[in-house]
Structure 1
């Protein structure tokens, strides 16, 4: 049986999601699990799809980066699949672990992908450092602190910190920081 898995990181990637689904269905996946999650968070659909697989099945993804976030993570997934007697197929690479060359290519490509990601992060750090030196880097906009007056008003009205967080679409921890900052700036 061909078992498919599709993932996007955000809701804005709907077109990518649709193309993954179409590609998985086109190769004949009998079941397809889908989720919109970051690769670093828990992925229930991935766990369910792997759990569903039985010996002799082939687990299919459109791209390697839709499956794993690092070489180590890829290795863990492949090890789990191998333990179950399940092979892996990555469509855009033509990679198929039912053959020895496919297994070799999987390891090589996984290493290259991790190297590429680490290089990108290194360039990003260098760019941020340069922008800071030139006084151009301002960092992330403090979205929660920009809503502090609204949060204080809602708290005065009697809403709980949890309710304020939900109302303003900020974290509960941000509401706690706003309260602490207000206590510190309030004259004694």
Structure 2
């Protein structure tokens, strides 16, 4: 879980926690809720800038939305606030660092995957479901739900296996 705020610092305010990535604002319902409820004088407190967003433009847009509501943003680690002009400059730099860090992580991940694939021993993930058994049970007349119960997997996995044959 990635907390937007640390509950130990928030005695009288609204505490929201979000479990989705801060990589983009898509599907970040808790952040949208917080921004919608901000009132003049409120303060949005986040543990680290990368919990707010990992794209500089997105971080700055969120700060701008808070400004439009006459609210402030405070980052706890390192402690920076938008209450002063210097804090805004530091937030911009921190947003850029978070974005750069995300690019480095993705790049290292991509390199690791490419290296693993070039290794002749690498064969991908292990198959955890007996696909032939799924097809056999389905061909014998069992419904996808019944096959899923019999195999011990989700119905969606059964559909994926059966649809992979068709494609």
Query: With structure 1 as the length reference, what TM-score do the two structures score?
Result: 0.69
- Equivalent residue for 1:180? 163
1:117, distance to aligned residue in structure 2 (A) = 1.5
**Contact 2:54–2:98 (CA<8 Å) still a contact in 1?**
no
**Contact 1:151–1:168 (CA<8 Å) still a contact in 2?**
no
Corresponding pairs, count: 160
Give the CA RMSD over aligned residues.
3.1
Tell me the alpha carbon deviations over residues 68-112 of structure 1, each in whole angstroms, 9 at most, x when there is no partner: 132222122112111211110001111100011110000001101
In structure 2, stretches of 5+ residues that fail to align are none
The residue correspondences of 1:1-188 to structure 2 (distance < 5 A) are 8-9=1-2, 20-22=6-8, 24-25=9-10, 28-39=11-22, 40=24, 41-142=26-127, 146-149=129-132, 151-152=134-135, 153=137, 156-159=141-144, 164=148, 168-169=153-154, 172=156, 174-182=157-165
Structure showing the higher helix proportion among its residues: 1
User: Quick one: structure 1 residues 154 and 92, their matched pair in 2 at CA, closer, same or farther if it must change by over 3 Å?
Assistant: farther
User: Quick one: structure 1 residues 55 and 133, their matched pair in 2 at CA, closer, same or farther if it must change by over 3 Å?
Assistant: same
Tell me the alpha carbon deviations over residues 29-86 of structure 1, each in whole angstroms, 9 at most, x when there is no partner: 5221223333355122211111111112111111112221322221221121112111
In structure 1, stretches of 5+ residues that fail to align are 1-7, 10-16
1:115, distance to aligned residue in structure 2 (A) = 0.9
Paired with 2:34 and 2:134, the residues of 1 have a C-alpha distance of: 42
**Contact 2:144–2:158 (CA<8 Å) still a contact in 1?**
no
